[in-house]
């Protein structure tokens, strides 16, 4: 069931979304060669808790950390480790959420670790822009399929693989709500988009194949060909005009 949010619910969501936006911005200067993926998760956890909020992901479905930290070919759900050290030329995707008074945020970014290749920079940039192409259709009068279609058309125009096995989703009092929002598909299909929906739209792209597999830890999703992947996500609010990006 798709949940249309009340004014009160939207105002409650603004607080964790604001904190998440600030956190993701601060990670730009925090991430550098020599950091471990656990360093990043602990940074996220301390920052969220300093605002009197709870890291949404910690314990969610059994996930062991405050942030998903996914390096290079890891698409999503990377488990932080004290022994995984970032090095120059890596790219790292950070997916985080904060919970405040029962309401959630959800957002992700992919960051360069030091100097990266032109190909990897293009992957990050196309992934980010595909989000903005998609949300052009996150308005009343369109359907969920219009968002995914726009993401796919843009991303594949640059030769990127569009991950199909994982999608965006509604979010609010539950981290994952209806509707699910694929990053591919046909325009004009799917649920109608209505005012006061809150949606987590999250393109996940790869330099090679869109095919993925889950590692033995039963969490981390990697590309089957070992090529790098990127992730860009925001929680948005459908308004009576252009969507409001709540985590930016």
Q: In this structure, are residues 107 and 24 in contact, taking their beta carbons and an 8 Å threshold?
A: yes
Q: pLDDT tens, 55-73?
A: 999 999 999 999 999 999 9
pLDDT tens-digit map of 149-193: 999 999 999 999 999 999 999 999 999 999 999 999 999 999 999
In this prediction, residue 183 carries a pLDDT of 98
State residue 67's pLDDT score: 98
Arithmetic mean of pLDDT, 29-48: 98
Q: How much of the chain is helix, strand and coil, in % rounded to 5?
A: 30, 25, 45
pLDDT at 51: 98
Residue-wise pLDDT for 4-33, tens only, equals 999 999 999 999 999 999 999 999 999 999
Is there a contact between 231 and 127 (Cβ–Cβ < 8 Å)?
A: yes
Rg over CA atoms, the chain: 17
Domains in the chain, start-ordered, CATH in brackets?
7-245 (3.90.230.10)
Euclidean distance between CA atoms 169 and 136, whole angstroms: 17
């Amino acid at each position: 069931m798709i949940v249309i949010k009340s004014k009160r619910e939207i105002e409650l969501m603004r607080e964790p979304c604001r904190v998440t936006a600030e956190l993701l911005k601060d990670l730009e200067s925090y991430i550098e060669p020599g950091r471990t993926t656990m360093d990043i998760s602990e940074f996220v956890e301390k920052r969220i808790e300093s605002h009197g909020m709870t890291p949404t992901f910690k314990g969610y479905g059994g996930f062991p950390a405050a942030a998903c930290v996914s390096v290079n070919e890891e698409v999503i759900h990377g488990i932080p480790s004290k022994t995984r050290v970032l090095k120059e030329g890596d790219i790292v995707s950070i997916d985080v959420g904060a919970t405040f008074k029962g309401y959630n945020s959800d957002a992700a970014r992919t960051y360069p670790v030091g100097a990266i290749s032109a190909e990897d920079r293009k992957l990050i940039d196309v992934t980010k822009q595909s989000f903005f192409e998609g949300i052009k259709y996150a308005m009343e009068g369109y359907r969920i399929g219009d968002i995914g279609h726009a993401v796919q058309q843009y991303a594949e125009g640059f030769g990127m693989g569009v991950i199909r096995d994982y999608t965006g989703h509604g979010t609010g009092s539950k981290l994952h709500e209806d509707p699910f929002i694929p990053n591919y598909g046909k325009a004009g299909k799917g649920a109608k988009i209505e005012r006061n929906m809150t949606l987590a739209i999250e393109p996940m792209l790869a330099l090679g194949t869109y095919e993925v597999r889950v590692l033995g830890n039963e969490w981390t999703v990697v590309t089957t060909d070992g090529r790098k992947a990127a992730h860009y996500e925001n929680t948005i609010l459908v308004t009576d005009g252009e969507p409001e990006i709540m985590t930016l």
